[in-house]
Structure 1
Amino acid sequence: MNVSTSGFATVKNSLTGKVLFGHEPSPELIAILLVYFVQGILGLARLAVSFFLKDDLGLSPAEVSALVGFAALPWMVKPLFGFISDGMPIGGYRRRPYLILSGFLGALAWVALATVVNSAWSAMGAIALSSLSIAFSDVIVDSIVVERARKESVGDAGSLQSLCWGATAVGGILTAYLSGFLLQHFSTRTVFGITATFPLIVSLVAWLITESPTPEQANWTVVRQQLGQLRQAVSQKAIWMPTVFLFLWQATPTAESAFFFFTTNELGFDPEFLGRVRLVTSLASLLGVWMFQRFLRNVPYRTIFGWSTVISAALGLTTLLLVTHANRALGISDRWFSIGDNLVLTVMGQIAFMPVLVLAARLCPAGVEATLFALLMSVVNLAGLLSYESGALLMHWMGITERNFSNLALLVVITNLSTLLPLPLLGWLPPATEQPDGSAGSVPRLPTVPVALDFDPSASKHLEQPFMPDLVTELVNTANREAEESILLSED
């Protein structure tokens, strides 16, 4: 009995120290980790959504691009979710009820996709509802984590965030390949039905979150204070000028949906192979994060934005070899070329996008870090919507359809070269990696940024889908363990 008890204690201590970074495995901690795990595992339906829009609904590349862009709207108003949660408690509780509600909304969205959705408009509504569910739950669980993280010692700072985002990474890894494997053997609606069960986990574990009732009036006082500080911050030239640059840099058109149609309809890539590519690019993105952290973290913004934009545009043009089938003349098969090209482009794309997050974090002055960071990333998300819609317009004008790819090469050239347009405004960026007040800032958690269908030829932009958090965007934060960012309002 003593040996058994001792063995159990040893296993528990090892789990607590090595896996949970010193945090006791309490029911609340398990609940928090499961919420993040669900965010990652929802990637199970990523490919299914792409094929559903293309094959089941028969949408054109331009229509898919336009639909995906509008479905990302909830990610552009995440600060609003923070205001609602802080200022409008339900039954005196600001976290638990909203977490329960978001889980039910997510399940409802996926059930609808699995059963009654039969048109583009209903698909956009269901996908947007799923997007809203994830965005709102992300706001709530981030706020809970930040509240708990404030109690950590200096030596343990960031450990809870790293643990949580590691849980999302595990979910993303598990579904990177399975997303294609399941779709190879089951229908898209079956995959949606399976996915619908996961948001319910969020609703169930929300009851394990420890929360005390809070006075409603006090919350509205915090909201008013934050709004005043926010107005003062965004009026500073040192903040709005870099923000405008980031907006323009992300708003150039994308050819993502057209390229997805090309790889599936023209090249005949099946879902199982696309799942393999997702796994490879997920690992490649992690490599890009490591390279940025190891070699480029302290490079001035103007330098890294300038060179990464130019190099990414040049590398993006290598996609022309696949579009024109020139790779076959070189003796490289379509599949091997796609894997290699996506690997290189993803590494470079991650390196190019990392400064966006660092800059956004360091633009935030003390007192409104969380709210202003959420606002800045919402601006980037809005730029992503314009990128999709302008890309859809180009596809329509150029006559690119689900079977006509004669102008795809020209579209790839236009979308890649257009990323160079904001470069004359590089002077609007800070000359060094400092905050407006001159102090060094810490890198926050990489937010959920809306993107994209698989096989993005312009990988320097949009690293994630709006309705499904992906592996890479969550792993960034593990590399930045000192980060303490919440997209919810800070509380005194």
Structure 2
Amino acid sequence: MSSIEMSSERSKSIDEPTSTTTDSARDYSTNKCMRILCTRSLLCSAIYFALAYFVQGITDIASGFVNLPLQTVLKDKLQLSPSQMGTFFFSCTITWSIKPLYGILSDFVPICGYHRLVYLLITTVLNLCAWIALYFAPTEYNYLLIFCVLAAFSLAFNDVLIDALMISLGRPLALIGTLQGIQQTSAKLASTISQIPAGILASSSSTALQYNNQTINNHTMKILRNHQNSNKYIFLIASLCPIILFFATLIAVRERRRKFNKNNFVQTWSVLSRIFQYKRFWIITIFLFVYSASPQLKTALFYYYRDILQFDPFYVSILNTIYNGCGILSALIYLSVFSHHPTKRVLRIAIVMRLFAIASYLFATDKITSIFVAIFTGFCSEITNLALLHLAAKSCPRNIEGTLFALFVSCINFGVATGDWLGSIIYEYLGFIALIIIAIAWIGTTILATCHIGEHGIGSTLDDDDDDESNDKYHYYDVVEKRIDTVENEELNDKDANSSTT
């Protein structure tokens, strides 16, 4: 059987490798990471996905490079309460909750014949414009909200397109879990290395704000104003990331150009409409939202560190660095261990780990204990996150990967935004301990729902009904697969030549 025929076989599970008969394919299937490293086209794609998520880790408003200085400005300069800050970030991250609209637009409406490439370039330029506008705009609530929403929107749209490319490439090669692990590791690495510089800028801005009402000379006032505006530099630094991603997209993404085909549109819409008839789709969707909507500690923890434990922004950045650094180890552990295990089992383990992680915040009472808590919670973080993403990716049938995966991830994002907003309200009115107790009780009940989640998502059910018309559809992996087939055939020919000479 040729490698092209091998790649077109349907596997029983979306992330299970197809059966092969070539020695090269068997060698690759034993170690998915080595398969990526040994195939130049796969390695190029994996590097691009890692770079895209590295940029996302830097520019994400909710957890990236700009998050801590932005929180400091909202709290110290604009004097927002925990619930008000929660509302601000909820308004920004709501753009991540309508990702299916971006997926539908890119799946159904090609630009110049491209479903991914042109959209990627446009959203990258929008992201660049948002950061430049934040640098020049006054530091006022309305300006911050408008341009932060624009930055979040462009990044969310870009994320939908990247994930669609990743699933199209990873599913037929049984590499979804591996590629997701690479992406999340890269995002965590970006968040880790950026926290200390962000903490320095946020700390200098916070120090300057403390002297606003004091009588000081003109020279000192000029210096403090420079420090007070230091948070602006973080927007300028963030604007470099979309520039890099723009040129990387031009180099790495090779998408087949297609004319708009009414039959393809009808076929794709038919698959999308049939999804809503499956009970398993609704079970997965509701589970992802309810689990993610548990009261979050993110905004509340920032106020707890600043007001109760009296940590300055720089020390908070150190804790964030430790947390994200351990998150990298967590993603690597998932990549090497958990990504090959049944989804249901990993999901249950992840839920239990998150319960212990939330409970550990009860022991964060000073600087030393906070470090140990950051280590433990960071270690648990990405295993939980990747378990949810892997479940979502495995539940996507072919041809509508962008739309359906965006729908699942939107449930997660909307749940997280809702949970952070609920957490900030609970913290403001009931306190930190009550928030932890409610969060533990909420998450503990969701483990019962895992009994109703199948191993193969809804993708295998729909794939069984599909005929072999997928060659007429658009797939990013069409181009990459041809490169892989060429490389594997060349390797096989070399082996045959060597064996014949010996």
**Is the TM-score greater than 0.5?**
yes
CA distance, structure 1, for counterparts of residue 231 and residue 282 of structure 2: 43
Which residue is 2:235 aligned to?
192
Moved more, 270-279 or 34-43: 34-43
How far did residue 336 of structure 1 move? 1.7
**Residue identity in the other structure for 2:368:** W
**Residue identity in the other structure for 1:38:** V
**Residue identity in the other structure for 2:199:** G
Structure 1 residue matching 2:445: 3-state secondary structure: coil
**Residue identity in the other structure for 1:351:** I
How far did residue 76 of structure 1 move? 2.1
Cα distance 1:100–1:397, how it changes in 2: closer, same or farther (>3 A)? same
Structure with greater Cα Rg: 2
> Superposition RMSD on alpha carbons, in Å?
4.1
Structure 2 residue matching 1:317: 3-state secondary structure: helix
Pairwise mapping of residues 375-386 of structure 1 onto structure 2 (< 5 A)?
375-386=407-418
Moved more, 307-316 or 185-194: 307-316
Which of 199, 204, 228 lines up with 1:180 in the alignment? Answer: 199
Higher helix proportion: 2
Pairwise mapping of residues 317-396 of structure 1 onto structure 2 (< 5 A)?
317-322=359-364, 325=365, 334-365=366-397, 368-395=400-427
Which residue is 1:38 aligned to?
55
Cα distance 1:437–1:419, how it changes in 2: closer, same or farther (>3 A)? closer
Decide whether the 8 Å contact of 2:109 with 2:115 is kept in 1.
yes
Which residue is 1:271 aligned to?
313
How far did residue 265 of structure 1 move? 3.0
Decide whether the 8 Å contact of 1:183 with 1:191 is kept in 2.
no
Decide whether the 8 Å contact of 1:285 with 1:346 is kept in 2.
yes
Decide whether the 8 Å contact of 1:281 with 1:346 is kept in 2.
yes
Work out whether 1:415 is the aligned partner of 2:432.
no
Cα distance 1:299–1:100, how it changes in 2: closer, same or farther (>3 A)? closer
Q: TM-score, normalised by structure 1?
A: 0.68
Decide whether the 8 Å contact of 1:54 with 1:60 is kept in 2.
yes
Which of 92, 100, 103 lines up with 1:82 in the alignment? Answer: 103
Work out whether 1:217 is the aligned partner of 2:260.
yes
Which residue is 2:452 aligned to?
428
Structure 2 residue matching 1:420: 3-state secondary structure: helix
**Residue identity in the other structure for 1:245:** F
How far did residue 235 of structure 1 move? 1.7
Cα distance 1:489–1:84, how it changes in 2: closer, same or farther (>3 A)? farther
Q: Extract unaligned runs of 5+ from structure 1.
A: 1-16, 326-333, 399-406, 442-487
How far did residue 209 of structure 1 move? 6.0
Work out whether 1:51 is the aligned partner of 2:41.
no
Structure 2 residue matching 1:422: 3-state secondary structure: helix
Structure 1 residue matching 2:444: 3-state secondary structure: coil
Q: TM-score, normalised by structure 2?
A: 0.67
Cα distance 1:415–1:489, how it changes in 2: closer, same or farther (>3 A)? farther
**Residue identity in the other structure for 2:270:** G
Which residue is 2:127 aligned to?
106
CA distance, structure 2, for counterparts of residue 354 and residue 32 of structure 1: 15
Decide whether the 8 Å contact of 2:305 with 2:316 is kept in 1.
no
Cα distance 1:372–1:299, how it changes in 2: closer, same or farther (>3 A)? same
Decide whether the 8 Å contact of 2:124 with 2:246 is kept in 1.
yes
Moved more, 190-199 or 180-189: 180-189
**Residue identity in the other structure for 2:68:** L
Percent identity at matched positions? Answer: 24
How far did residue 375 of structure 1 move? 1.8
Q: Extract unaligned runs of 5+ from structure 2.
A: 1-33, 205-226, 464-472, 479-502
Structure 2 residue matching 1:44: 3-state secondary structure: coil
Which residue is 2:269 aligned to?
227
How far did residue 62 of structure 1 move? 0.7
Task: Map Cα deviations across residues 80-121 of structure 1 (whole Å, 9 max, x no partner).
Answer: 223323443445554444333323322222233333254434
How far did residue 345 of structure 1 move? 1.9
Task: Map Cα deviations across residues 272-297 of structure 1 (whole Å, 9 max, x no partner).
Answer: 32333233222322333344456655
